Amino acid sequence: MRQQQIGNAQAWYYPHDKVIVLWECFLDTQVRNVKSLTEDVHMPKLWSRFEQWLVKQFPEATRIATSFNDPIANSREEYQTFLRSLGYQPLAKAAFGKSI
């Protein structure tokens, strides 16, 4: 068996603020089944499972936040549509988030 990286996920937890900041969570382009992030069936599953894992690791967290834009999407609008489909809403000028 050979290991092969197929994506990346990274988050930071800020205990004082009880906030998890999801910095990145994506499958590499060779693994994604379509070019549009909003049409990919695997990305929402990956994102949701990573969120679930993070919440178990940091049960005191009350909110999860992420950036309003990411280069894995074709456009900022596409990325924000993707985030909204996962329950995120704008928190600030450059951030989306949701309560846990």
Query: How far is C-alpha 64 from the chain's CA centre?
Result: 9
Question: How many Å is the maximal CA-CA distance in the chain?
Answer: 45
Average pLDDT, 10 consecutive residues per value, the chain (100 residues): 92 98 90 81 93 97 97 92 97 95
pTM over 0.75: yes
- CATH superfamily for domain 7-99: Gcn5-related N-acetyltransferase (GNAT) (3.40.630.30)
Position 32 scores a pLDDT of 77
Q: Report the chain's C-alpha Rg in angstroms.
A: 14
Position 21 scores a pLDDT of 98
